[in-house]
């Protein structure tokens, strides 16, 4: 365990995580594409955050880089924050991707036998998803949910994005398991 206990359920995130067994189901104009990917995610503690002198948050900044395994193509680059509101037992996950999309997911965290389970959700109609004009017209994200299981040296997640793309609804799915490489 690291010395970031003040981060509550986010403490175990701090460090560098690597995985090479990610699976991605994404839309194509004529159907569906499935890929395997590898990724590196680094989580760094940030200072405490006060919102409107009422909400106290602690958090971590993160940066995620994803490459497709079959050709090593850089598929995805994402950054954001994981924050915890201890008083309201609320987890907030913000993310931005360089396609003109930013998302705020909110939810609860539960203690498990060996770590933590996070269940988060965000919806466009509730203002959780901001998108460029192009993305709203061509690849609208209508909702996103994430389930993350966290143990001392193991992180697994399922990410589900509901899209309106190529003239149809599509359920874009990602699943990955990562192993902690360092606590810094």
Helices (H), 2-153: 133-138
CA–CA dist 157, 33 (Å, integer) = 20
Residue 3 is predicted with a pLDDT of 80
What CATH fold (topology level) applies to the domain 5-182? Lipocalin (2.40.128)
pLDDT band at 2 (very low <50, low <70, confident <90, very high): low
Residues 18-76 have pLDDT tens digits of: 999 999 999 999 999 999 999 999 999 998 999 999 999 999 999 999 999 999 999 99
Q: Give the CB-side neighbour count of residue 160, counting CA atoms within 13 A.
A: 11
Q: What are the strands, taking DSSP E only, across 46-151? A: 49-51, 55-68, 74-85, 90-97, 101-111, 115-123, 129-131, 139-151
Residues 134-146 have pLDDT tens digits of: 999 999 999 999 9
Residues 3-19 have pLDDT tens digits of: 899 999 999 999 999 99
> Sign of the C-alpha dihedral, residues 58, 145, 104, 26?
positive
CA–CA dist 157, 152 (Å, integer) = 15
């Amino acid at each position: 365990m690291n010395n970031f206990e003040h981060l509550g359920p986010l403490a175990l995130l701090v460090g560098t995580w690597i995985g090479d067994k990610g699976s991605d189901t994404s839309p194509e104009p004529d159907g569906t594409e499935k890929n395997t990917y590898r990724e590196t995610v680094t989580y760094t503690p940030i200072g405490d955050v006060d919102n409107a002198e009422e909400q106290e948050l602690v958090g971590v900044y993160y940066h995620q880089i994803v490459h497709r395994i079959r050709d090593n193509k850089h598929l995805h680059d994402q950054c954001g924050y994981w924050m915890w509101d201890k008083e309201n037992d609320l987890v907030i996950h913000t993310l931005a991707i360089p396609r003109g999309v930013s998302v705020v997911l909110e939810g609860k965290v539960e203690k498990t036998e060996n770590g933590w389970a996070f269940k988060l959700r965000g919806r466009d109609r509730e203002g959780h998803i901001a998108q460029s004009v192009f993305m709203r017209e061509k690849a609208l994200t209508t909702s996103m949910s994430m389930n993350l299981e966290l143990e001392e040296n193991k992180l697994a997640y399922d990410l589900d994005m509901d899209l309106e793309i190529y003239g149809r609804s599509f359920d874009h799915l990602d699943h990955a398991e990562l192993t902690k490489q360092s606590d810094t």
